[in-house]
Chains A and B, each alone.
Chain A
Amino acid sequence: MNFFTFDIRKILIVLFIAALPLLSINMQRNPGEDPWYMKPISGAASVLETSYANFTGGVRGTTSTYLDLIGIKLKNSDLQKENAELRAKLAALTELKIKYDHLAKQLDFKQNSSMELLAAKVIGRDLSPDHYSIRINRGYQHGLKRLQGVITVEGVVGYIFKIDRVSSQVLVLTDRLASMDAIVQRTRARGLVTGKNSSSCRLRYLERAEDVSPGDMIVTSGLQGYFPKGFPIGRITNVHKTPYGISQEADVVPIVSPANLEEVFVILNSGEEDFTEKFGQDEDFGPPLLSKQNADSPATPTSAKQGQEASR
């Protein structure tokens, strides 16, 4: 083998291996900058890394969103449950407040009145939809008598029609079989209120010459003693005058709607109470004896005074 015979491939390999450290040293000379031959690789790596990063980020994001959704769903379910509970509580409290206001109003009315009143609960209504009577949970055991007046804080309801031991039937003013003496508050014209249908009554046997007009308030006459004098019954909506005859008729809308009654007062003794002064002509319908704190409308001086006494 000739000493000077060179294997060019071996020489090239040796040179390449020897050049590698030099190449590395050269690369470290400018660490912030890639040499020209590294740029494509770096670029490709960068693209790939970014892609991987985006991919893993996306997967992580989706996973966490999914996990969050599960949490949100559970939380939402809990919140909905809590919301329902709070709503139920709110409804119960609202109902309690309404009941409290109602009872406070009734108590105030009872305290301010010289009448002997007995509170009663409505427990039933007439079998026939064409008759308007209610049944209350008070009977002769509680001292009730026939024809005693039944009222609410707002106005007249009707009167006791039939009594049993622990309950009574009240004929509501709107029943066509009901009738009671009444006067027009403005002109003191006297007539007879009889029932007509579920929402209205008739004021009959009014003298033809009497001055009666729509909007007039009808109050109790207090004639029979079952009701106090001047207690509100309803308001005239229409006046009928036939071309002949000695009387005239008027349609009356009662203040108290029998459909929504829950509690009423039975007048055991009207105490000859007169609401004419307490329930002024200028005032709108409303509880005539309520003290100022509870009354929505401004009270007359008398009722306000009584209210102050009651609050004392």
Chain B
Amino acid sequence: MRENLLLVSNFLLLGLATLVLATAQSALWFQIFGGFPAPAFWIPVLVYASLYRKFGQMAILAFLMSLTLKPMTVMPVPFLFFMLFLVGSTLRLVKQRFYWVGHSYFMMISGIAALLFHVYHSLGTLIIGDSSLASPEISDWLVQALLTPLVAPVLYEIFRWFDRATEFEQPSEASANII
């Protein structure tokens, strides 16, 4: 019972972090820097979930994240969830190929994830619906992919603290298998 409670708390903390970070990206950054592309503050949550959670847990967190992100974007929840799930799964595959412990890996993967999200979104619009992306904002994608790793180390430490606070068992590296 206690373990389940701690697990739920951990998920809720990560969900709360997503909300705080996404609103910071949507409103705080906008108020300070105007139209300049913001780092995808919320992406490290997905990266953390993909790298350090079981596959099923990652899927649940991706769904929780898509619900949390919905108020800040016009993307529909199913589409958003699908994109997050795809990015998360890809990151797990990447982790299987190469992985090292430390901030630098987390930073690099956060940058890749930020870029992947936009690529998948762009491809997704071609497949789903009749209004495909006419001209993607590639420069914004790149700026975001470059800025996101800068905030990743701080967030990584915060997420680790969440895990310690909720006594979350760190999954072993072998648990990063996709299935």
* Chain A residues within 8 Å of B, Cβ to Cβ: 123-131, 133, 135, 161-162, 164, 169, 171, 175-177, 194-198, 259-260
Q: Does A169 lie within 8 Å of B74, measured CB to CB? A: yes
Q: Does A128 lie within 8 Å of B134, measured CB to CB? A: no
Q: Does B73 lie within 8 Å of A126, measured CB to CB? A: yes
Q: Does B131 lie within 8 Å of A127, measured CB to CB? A: no
* Chain B residues within 8 Å of A, Cβ to Cβ: 22-23, 25-27, 30-31, 34-35, 37, 40, 42, 69, 71-75, 118, 121-122, 125, 131-137, 140-141, 144
One of A131, A162, A197, A260 near B71 (C-beta < 8 A): A162
Q: Does A176 lie within 8 Å of B72, measured CB to CB? A: no
One of B118, B134, B137, B141 near A196 (C-beta < 8 A): B134
One of A123, A131, A161, A197 near B134 (C-beta < 8 A): A197
Q: Does B122 lie within 8 Å of A130, measured CB to CB? A: yes
A252 CB, min distance to chain B CBs, angstroms: 13
Closest 9 interchain pairs by CB? Answer: A129-B140, A124-B27, A124-B26, A197-B135, A259-B35, A129-B137, A176-B131, A127-B73, A133-B74
A274 CB, min distance to chain B CBs, angstroms: 31
Closest to B131 in A: A176
One of A127, A130, A195 near B137 (C-beta < 8 A): A130
29 contacts between A and B (CB under 8 A): A123-B30, A123-B31, A124-B23, A124-B26, A124-B27, A124-B72, A125-B30, A126-B26, A126-B74, A127-B25, A127-B40, A128-B73, A128-B75, A129-B37, A129-B137, A129-B141, A130-B121, A130-B133, A131-B73, A131-B74, A133-B74, A135-B26, A161-B74, A169-B71, A175-B74, A176-B132, A176-B134, A177-B74, A198-B137
Contacts of A175 in B (CB 8 A): 74
One of B27, B34, B37, B133 near A176 (C-beta < 8 A): B133
B70 CB, min distance to chain A CBs, angstroms: 9
Contacts of A162 in B (CB 8 A): 71
Cα distance, A169 to B135, chains bound together (Å): 23
Q: Does A133 lie within 8 Å of B137, measured CB to CB? A: no
Contacts of B74 in A (CB 8 A): 126, 131, 133, 161, 169, 171, 175, 177
A163 CB, min distance to chain B CBs, angstroms: 11
Cα distance, A155 to B71, chains bound together (Å): 26
Closest to A198 in B: B137
Q: Does B73 lie within 8 Å of A135, measured CB to CB? A: no
Additional pairs, 14, CB under 8 Å, beyond known A128-B75, A164-B71, A197-B137: A123-B30, A123-B31, A124-B26, A124-B72, A125-B30, A125-B35, A127-B22, A130-B118, A130-B133, A130-B137, A171-B74, A176-B125, A176-B133, A196-B134
One of A124, A131, A194, A195 near B75 (C-beta < 8 A): A131
Q: Does A130 lie within 8 Å of B30, measured CB to CB? A: no
Contacts of A135 in B (CB 8 A): 26-27, 72
Contacts of B133 in A (CB 8 A): 130, 176
Cα distance, A126 to B27, chains bound together (Å): 9
One of B26, B31, B35, B136 near A130 (C-beta < 8 A): B136
Cα distance, A28 to B135, chains bound together (Å): 108
Cα distance, A175 to B23, chains bound together (Å): 20
| Known contacts A126-B74, A161-B74, A177 near B131 by CB under 8 Å | yes
Q: Does A196 lie within 8 Å of B135, measured CB to CB? A: yes
Cα distance, A125 to B73, chains bound together (Å): 8
Contacts of B135 in A (CB 8 A): 196-197
